[in-house]
Structure 1
Amino acid sequence: MAAVVGLGIVLAGCTAQKDVTDYSQTEHWLNVPTSTDKKVDVFYLYPTTYAPADQTNPSISTIDDPGMMANAKLAYDRQATAYETVANIYAPFYRQDNLSAVNREETIAGIPTTDATAAFDYYIKHYNNGRPFILVGHSQGSDVMSNILSGYLKEHPDVYKRMVVAYVVGFTITDDYLAANPHLKFAQGPDDTGVIVSYNTEAPEVLPPGNPVITAGALTINPINWKRDETLATAAENLGSIGLNKNGSAVRNAEGFIEPVMNFADAQIDLAKGALICSTVNVDVYSPGSATFGKGVYHTFDYPFYYFNLRENAANRTSKYFEKNDAKV
């Protein structure tokens, strides 16, 4: 069973007790590096990996749900590893919604955000040691990350100063969100720091039920050319996608390394939709559609399509961060 401790949280003027996972317990971490040889960290939150067998299971997972934990490791392999050459990667397990909640944002702002915020606070106080950090999330993980950005980092400006960039991918960031959180800003190019990067990948045509992670006013940046306009970035400009095994893990060579798949995925922003359009991938193979995502939604591939571009960008923004702070990488 999960170890929990009491945490007093003030909600709507009333004090209520919420349980929170105890992140001093090593089993509640998906990854803690054995050495900190990099000068920057990554704090990573995985996407929705909790899928109960039937509706008799709780809508919120336990912290030690076997399926969630196993799928989180697969998500880490195809997403967080993009940053392993740049940063020391810290990744907590956190209790998740199974996407069945009627008011999903309210649900995710509850236990999932409470857990992840506690994990981030523990990371800052016990693991970070004053290093700059990069935030990385996907889907539900990015939803939760947006709450950390608007909550914890607003309340701790001294910590926010050390944020190199936040990759809030597979979730919508809007002007309204930024207006409500003036301490935050969206990336304008490849070099700015302390900013949010976000996009959601689709084919040129998406069939019903559509793309539930894109809402009106979605802000987007192109992860190949790092522009905010509709300039096409060709597949030839892509630094490398990655292949996935049937279980969702990254394809590796005989030596265990993830190799780039070249000339595979292009990228072009559709400003009207707030989506990142990929036109060069076989939609029948990579997004045939499901009950949750319509045919043409490349949600699972937000990281795999642009894996090596994200790696290079994280390294670049880290370099720019240290240049601004009169330090060398």
Structure 2
Amino acid sequence: MRARFLKIIILSLAFILLSNCKSTYKTQSFSSKKIPSQPNYELENSWAVLPTKYTNEFKKYASLKPDTLKADVFYVYPTLNTSKKDNRWNVPIDDVEQNKKVLAKAVLYQSSAFAETGKMYVPFYRQAHYRSFVKGYKKEGKEALKLAYSDVKNAFKVYLKKYNNKRPIILVGHSQGTRHAVQLVKDFFDEKPLAKKLIAAYIPGIRVKPNEFKSIKPMYSPNVTGGFVAWNTFKKGNTPKNKNWYNGSVTNNPISWDKKTTTELQQHKGFLYSNGKMYSQALKVQITDGLVWSTNPQFPLRFFMSFLKNYHAGDINLFWLDIKKNSLLRTQNWVDKNIK
């Protein structure tokens, strides 16, 4: 078993190193004639996860009493199509390989942090390819991202109409998913009546400015509700190539959830690794201007992670149990204030 996970880490490391090399992507023009068919979110098969549609693996993290949950969680997964050989701008929602990644990676190791907090809703969407964010591809990438968001927006409309029943909402995204979640906040919550139902928006993985929204504000206390939290994680001492990109962005402490700029090992509640094991008291963080600096996590395979400088992929996993407990706290606080 250990050998298998070592192999996975080595292959992952090789992929990361290769992906940092200068190279180009196969591409094509963006055309309305080539885009995948629009999903129908009235159909269950357009959803990766519904409260009645949990995989057996996901059920391990879910509440044993789902009918007692007071909140809903709407999660938008990150970019999973990164292949340099795939020239499609958007992935159809019936793409088998993509959907396996959604369920076995993003859903299982990110949205699962909220599975005891609320009933989970995760739409498949025509996700934009990673090159949409790469210099030289952004013109057509903009169209691909616009198409992807149209799906997320339509899914959220169906969720509100068909499933929500006026329940409070936690909105979650990561990376491309956060980009779409930010727009959902603007379209449905910011200075709108639905803001009263917002427990929190957890939107790590991209730059989010303090004034991104008009009425939805950053939250710097662990039990505050109605706002958002955001962060971007790098290995301690490292910064992105564009050092100023994240400056001034909202950088919540995903361990203490307050304005503390450092934490100690014993404060860290738990890092969920891809072997399904939880590692507590595994890391410390330091908050800098726009970044969460994390120490290399203390766990059996830490040597391989020591090569990484950008912990973007672990924005949620590294703080999985910290996020879970915080979402439970915020939800209970919202319920205590609003449900009598």
Looking at secondary structure, tell me which structure has more helix per residue: 2
Shift of 1:244: 1.2
Map of 2:225 onto structure 1? 193
Map of 1:26 onto structure 2? 44
Map of 1:86 onto structure 2? 117
Map of 1:161 onto structure 2? 196
Q: Moved runs in structure 1, 4+ residues, more than 6 A?
A: none
User: Structure 2 CA distance, aligned partners of 1:170 and 1:98?
Assistant: 16
Q: Flag structure 2 segments of 5+ consecutive residues without an equivalent.
A: 1-35, 53-65
User: Structure 1 CA distance, aligned partners of 2:155 and 2:259?
Assistant: 32
Shift of 1:217: 2.2
Contact 1:132 1:162 in 2 (8 A): yes
List per-residue Cα deviations over 1:135-155 (Å, max 9, x = no partner): 111111011100111123237
Contact 1:239 1:262 in 2 (8 A): yes
User: Structure 2 CA distance, aligned partners of 1:169 and 1:308?
Assistant: 15
Contact 1:210 1:297 in 2 (8 A): no
Shift of 1:70: 1.1
Structure 1 stretch displaced more, 275-284 or 196-205: 275-284
Among candidates 321, 324, 333, match of residue 311 of structure 1: 324
Among candidates 134, 152, 155, match of residue 116 of structure 1: 152
List per-residue Cα deviations over 1:287-328 (Å, max 9, x = no partner): 63xxxxxx411111111111111011001001111122143x
SS of residue matched to 2:203: strand
Contact 1:193 1:321 in 2 (8 A): yes
Asked if 1:281 corresponds to 2:297, the answer is yes
Asked if 1:243 corresponds to 2:243, the answer is no
AA aligned opposite 1:184:
I
TM-score under structure 1 normalisation? 0.79
List per-residue Cα deviations over 1:170-208 (Å, max 9, x = no partner): 12110342xxx3121111210110111111111123377
Among candidates 91, 95, 98, match of residue 68 of structure 1: 98
Q: How many residues align?
A: 283
Contact 2:256 2:263 in 1 (8 A): yes
Map of 1:95 onto structure 2? 126
List per-residue Cα deviations over 1:37-79 (Å, max 9, x = no partner): 3111100111111234614x31211122222211111211001
CA RMSD in angstroms comes to 2.4
Q: Flag structure 1 segments of 5+ consecutive residues without an equivalent.
A: 1-17, 246-250, 252-258, 289-294
**Aligned-residue identity in percent:** 27
Contact 1:38 1:87 in 2 (8 A): yes
Map of 2:161 onto structure 1? 125
AA aligned opposite 1:276:
V
Tell me: CA distance 1:27–1:66, structure 2 relative to 1, closer, same or farther (3 Å): same
List per-residue Cα deviations over 1:197-242 (Å, max 9, x = no partner): 1111111233775789x53421111011112342x11121111111
AA aligned opposite 1:162:
K
Tell me: CA distance 1:170–1:206, structure 2 relative to 1, closer, same or farther (3 Å): same
Contact 1:109 1:147 in 2 (8 A): no
User: Structure 2 CA distance, aligned partners of 1:208 and 1:197?
Assistant: 21
Tell me: CA distance 1:131–1:19, structure 2 relative to 1, closer, same or farther (3 Å): same
AA aligned opposite 2:111:
A
SS of residue matched to 1:166: strand
